[in-house]
Structure 1
Amino acid sequence: MLSELHTAHKVIGVKQSKKAIRDGAAAQVFVALDAEKRIVGPIYELCSEHGMEVTEVTTMTELGDAVGIDVGAAVVVVLH
């Protein structure tokens, strides 16, 4: 599943992810388990409000690698 993230139409980061979830553009949400809870907490809340499931990834580094960036990523949203 993570291997598909590299080529998927997506947004990376908390701010853009929140917007995509609020706007109904999010198809799938990935959150790194080692991200700070104060950062990703609002993502979990938004997903709950919109009935979206969150896929958890072990580390930010793993999620960043999956999307093809050189830094870690706390949140990635695949768009419709």
Structure 2
Amino acid sequence: MSYEKVKQAKKTIVGIKQTVKALQTGHVTEVFVALDADVRMTKRAVLLAQNKGIPVVLVDSKRELGRACKIQVGAAVCAITEW
């Protein structure tokens, strides 16, 4: 279900740095984090989302998350935005 939600989203942001920037601007509605990603890398995005009250969804695979985001490589973090 989570991968489908990412696939159907009109606007997604892929990557840790881009997701953190979008969280800081306040345009993110939901964050997706791959469980097989390095926690040290994803921790900042997860904590920022939780502090702002934005839902964080855990998914199993970076590879599948990357495919859902329509990229050729794995994605540790992605976000759905409202604009």
Structure 2-normalised TM-score? 0.89
User: Percent of pairs identical after alignment?
Assistant: 38
Report the residue type matching 2:53 in the other structure: G
Q: Report the equivalent of 1:5.
A: 6
Structure 1 residue runs of 5 or longer lacking an equivalent are: none
- Cα distance in 2, alignment partners of residues 13 and 72 from structure 1: 10
Runs of 4+ in 1 over 3 A off after TM superposition: none
Kept in 1: contact 2:29–2:55 (CA 8 A): no
1:5 counterpart letter in structure 2: V
- Give the superposed CA RMSD: 1.1
**In structure 1, what is the Cα distance between the partners aligned to 2:70 and 2:46?**
24
Runs of 5+ in structure 2 lacking a partner?
none
Q: Which residue of 1 aligns with 2:59?
A: 57
User: Alignment partner of 2:18: what SS?
Assistant: helix
The one of 25, 28, 31 equivalent to 2:27 is 25
